[in-house]
Structure 1
Amino acid sequence: MQRIIKLQNIGLILFSVFFMMGCSDDDTTYKATDINIEEAKLLDFPLMGIKPTGIEIVQPEIVDNKEVTYGDIKITLPSTITSLENIAAAITSKELNLSKFSVSPGNTVNLSFEDGKVHVFTISAATGDKEALLHYNVSIIKEVSPVSETLKITGFTFEKSKNPSLPNDITITKIVEDDDGIDKIYILVPLGTDFTDLVPTITYDGATLYYSQDPSTTVNVLYPSTATSFDFKYPKTFDLTVVDKNDDKQKKTSIIVDVVNPVRIETELITIPDVKKGERLLYFPGITKWINQGNHKIYYNYRKGTTYEDEDLIVIDNTYYYNIFTVDRDIPIDGLIPGESDNVNVLVWPLSEGTYKSTAVFYTQIYENSFGYNDSYDLFEPVKVKVTSNIIK
C-alpha cells in the first residue's frame, strides 16, 4: 500500500514540474492574439545611405487588432539621384521595436524601384510563430528636376475676340533679346487702328508679371488677371517686367505697337521742271512731303540709307557713271513725331541731254527715349518716290 502511495506522489511531482515548465514557455513567447499590432506600425522608413526629400506614410487600417488594408509608404528622392536600383531599407529601433517585431525584406536586401516598382514590406512578430501582422506597399520616386524660369514674355497677341475692330488676331512681329538690358517686342497692327483701346493677351515664363506706362519711374503695377484695355498711343509707353518665384530676379520687356507702313509720301510721282545741260547742281527743296502716319517718333539716323531703282545713269568717257538725281528727306534732329510731316528734296546734276528718271526708296527706323536706337529698320514697308526730269540744251 505504501509503495502505491509513493508512486502516486512521484507522479504528482512530475506532473507539477512539466506544468510549470509549460507555463514558463508561454511567458516568453508572443502570440498574435496577445500582441497589440498598433505597436507594429512603422514610424518612418529610412534608406541606406540616401536622404529622402519627402516621405508620406499611410498606416494600415486595423479593425479588432487585425489588419484590414495594407499601408502605403511613398518616398521621394532628390533629382540628383541617378538610379533607383539597389536601394535598401535602414530600419532601426527608432522606427520599429525590433525586440518584438521584424521586417522583411530586411536591411541587407537591395531592391529596384525603377519603372514605378512597388515592394511589399511585412512586419511580423519577432518570436513565436512569427505570424505576419502588418504590410506596407513601398514605392520610391525621384523629384522632378526644377525648371529654371527664363523670365521671358512668351506670347503677346491682340486677339480679335477681345479687339473687335481688328480684322484678325495680331501676333508678335519681332523679338529683340538683350541679355544685359531690355528686351523688345514689336507688334504691328493695321493702319487706322485705335491705339488708345487695345486689349492684349500675354503669356510669360516666370512667377509674377508687372507693367508700367511711365518710363520716368521704376514703380511697377501688378498686371491684371482679367482682360484689360490699355492705351498704346504715342507718347505712351508699355513695359512689362517678369519676376521669378523668389522675387529676386526680373526681366523687363518694352512693347512697341505700330503699323507696318508708318510713312506716307504726299506725292509719289514727281516731275522736275526742265533744266539746261551743263548748269550747276540744281536743288529743289520741298518738292513733296513725307508724313509720319505711325505711332512712334521716326529718327534721322537710319541704319539703312536711301537706295535707288530704275535709275538712268550718265556715262562720261565710257568710264564714269553718274546718277542724275539725289533724293532726301528733311527730319528734325530729335525725330519726327506721329502726325507731323517734312520736306522731300531733289538734287539734279544736268550733265547730259535727255529724259531721265529714278526711283528713291526710303526706309524707316523708329525711335523712343525708353529704348533708344533699335532694330526696327527691317520691319516696316519702305516708301518710294519716282522722279522724272528733262535735261535740255
Structure 2
Amino acid sequence: MAIEIKAPQFPESVADGTIATWHKQPGEPVSRDELLVDIETDKVVLEVVAPADGSLAEILKGEGDTVLSQELIAQFVEGEVAQAAPSSSEGEAVSSPAAASDETPMSPAARKIADEANLSAGDIVGTGKGGRITKEDVVKAAANKSSAPAVPAASSTPEAAQSMPGMIPQMSNDANIAMPAAARSEKRVPMTRLRKRIAERLLDAKNSTAMLTTFNEVNMQPIMDLRNRYKAQFEKAHNGTRLGFMSFFVKAATEALRRHPEVNASIDGDDVVYHGYYDIGVAVSSNRGLVVPILRDTDQMSLAGVESTIRDFGERAQAGQLGIDEMQGGTFTISNGGVFGSLMSTPILNPPQTAILGMHKIQERPMAVNGEVKILPMMYLAMSYDHRLIDGKEAVQFLVAIKDMLEDPARILLEL
C-alpha cells in the first residue's frame, strides 16, 4: 500500500523548512519509526520517521530543497520493497570503494553539486550502500579535483625539470619566469538555515537596538567553598544532579530581575511590556549552532531543578531534540562563554529582550582586600542592555546586585 510522506506541521513562527539529510534511499528496507529524513527549520531540526515497515518508493524533495508545512516530500510503500536492494556480492564498492560508472545511483543533492563542479559519476568514488554516490562523496571529489596539481610547463632549466612534484622549482639566474605554486584546496558548503537565522538575529540586534555593555567582577570563592562543602550531599540527595555554578547565577539573576523590572521587560513597537514572571534563557552550544532554551518560572525552581533542566537541555541540544516551544519566549538570557575559556566578551542581545548577562572564565588574580594582596578566583561579568529602555544607572545596579548575591550566597536565600 502506498503512503504519502509529508513534512510535519510547522508552528506559526516557522514559515518553511529545508530538507537537510535523507537517511534512507528508494528501495532500502525501512522499519516502522525508523528515521527517514531531517528537516531543518530556522530554530530546530525536525525528524520524519517511517509510518510502517516498507521502503521509500520515490523521493520528491531532495536535500537542500525548501518545503512548506504538510508538503508532500516522498512516496512510501508499506510491506514491500519498491526497488531491490543490492546484494552483498553486488556491493563490493561498500568495502572497497571504486570509481563509479555513469549509471551509479546518485541522490538529487549529490547530482546537483556534481553538475555544478562539472563532475560525472565516473569521476566520483561512491561510498554509499551498493556504491551509491552521496553528497559527501561529490564534495570530496570536487575538493580533490581543485587541489590536483597542474602539470608544470616544460622548462629549459635543469633544476626545474628535476624538482619534486608539488614543490616550487628554483629559478635559474637568467630566468625571470615565476613558476606557479601548488593549488590550495577550498571547500564550499551551503550555510544551514539555523546558522543563517542566527546571523539575521544578531545583525538585527546590532542594527535595531541601542546596545551598551557594562562590566563588573565577582569573587567566586564563596560559591566555590559552598560547592566543595555540600556537593557530595547535594548529588546524593538529588539523584545524581551535580551542583554547578549556573544555578547560583540563575537564582541571583531572578532576584535581581525582581528588584529591577525594567531589565525583565521587552520592547514591542512603541510599547514596553513588563513581565510578571521570570523566564530565563540559557545559551547552549550545539553541533548545528547556538540555541537558547528557556527555564520557565525560575523564581519557583530550586537549585537542583535548575541544574537538572540545564543538563537535559545540553544533552538534547547535542542530539538535535529540543522542541521549538522550548526556545520561544524568555524575558532574560544568560550566556556562559567561560566554559570555552573566554575571559571577557560583550554578549549580544536576544530581541525582544532588553538585557543579557555574560559569564566568563574563573581565573585567579591578585586582589586588594582590606589593605592586603590576596589571590582570589575572579570572574568578569558583562551585561549588555538596550539603552532605549534601561539607563546606565539601572544596568549597573542590576549587575552589582548579582555580584553581591554571589559573593554572599546567603542573600539569595534571604532575598537581601
**TM-score of the pair, normalised by structure 1:** 0.19
**Bigger Rg, structure 1 or 2:** 1
Bigger relative contact order, structure 1 or 2, given CA contacts below 8 A and separation 6+? 2
Q: Which has the higher strand share?
A: 1
Superposition TM-score, scaled by structure 2 size: 0.18
